[in-house]
Amino acid sequence: MHKKLFVMMIFMLFGSNATFAALGEWEKIGDSDGVVTLRKEVPDSPVVAFRGEALIEDSMARIAGVLEAVEREKEWMADVVETYNIEKLSESDRWEYNRTKTPWPLQDRDFVIHSTVSFKADPEPTLTIKMNSAENEKKPPIPGVVRGALIDSTFVLKFVEEKKTFFTCEIHADPKGAIPKWVVNLFQKSWPLDTISGLKRQLQKKDVSENETVKSLILKSSKAPIQPAS
């Protein structure tokens, strides 16, 4: 959610002149700082899906390292104030908690997320992280916080070169509550740019580690970088 509440109120009073893409088709709506932003109308849903694409000049393993560190998401994800693993079933299957700050007088939103990871080597090494809301008895709703719905979200990392990765992020989320859905759509459209920009900033930190599992999988693939002779 955006922090400029007075802008939200103006739009709530006077309406929006946003244009809409055909159902099921991605429509490009922005290209800034190396990030392409797209939106898509989803059948039977009042909220729009958004997508961001960018070529990131860093390794897949380091980017995966950032995405794996759930407890550090508040360092780079917009408006996130609390994140942690509820339950880690394996390296590729876990439950996460995420709480997002919203401007007064709205209540904070939180999400209980089931996250799964998959990897394929061909035609190029690709890591896919899929996330969606689901109930978990270990994290019941909190009084005073609105439980949102992450209908579908995906991060995709595709190997380009040893220090170049094509990154795609998608989100289809409903923060629930009394916020009009067109207002939700208006302010969620900045999510792809905010997310990728934040990821790039996080990658600049020296304490970001590579994900060793992903690094090993890439080395075993046909696109593995040539190792120097011993």
Supply the pLDDT for residue 2. Answer: 46
User: How many structural domains are present in the chain?
Assistant: 1
pLDDT of residue 9 exceeding 50: no
Flag whether pLDDT at 87 surpasses 90.
Answer: yes
Averaged pLDDT, 129-133 = 98
Q: What is the rounded CA–CA span in Å between residue 107 and residue 104?
A: 7
- E-only strand ranges, 121-163: 126-133, 146-147, 149-161
Reported as a pLDDT band with limits 50, 70 and 90, residue 16 is very low
The domain in which residue 188 lies consists of 22-220
pLDDT reading at 42 higher than 70: yes
Cα distance between residue 62 and residue 208, in whole Å: 7
Of the pLDDT bands very low, low, confident and very high (cuts 50, 70, 90), residue 21 is very low
Name the residue with higher pLDDT: 16 or 121.
121
State the number of CA atoms in the 13 A half-sphere of 38 facing the CB: 17
State the Cα–Cα distance between residues 27 and 183, nearest whole angstrom.
Answer: 19
The CATH number assigned to the domain holding 122 equals: 3.30.530.20
Buried (b) or exposed (e) across 60-79, using 16+ Cβ within 10 A? bbbbbbbbbbbebbbebbbb
What is the per-residue pLDDT across 193-215, written as a single tens digit (0 to 9) for each? Answer: 999 999 999 999 999 999 999 99
In a domain, 149, yes or no: yes
- Alpha carbon distance, N-terminus to C-terminus of the chain: 52
For residue 30, is it within any domain?
Answer: yes
- 140 assigned to some structural domain: yes
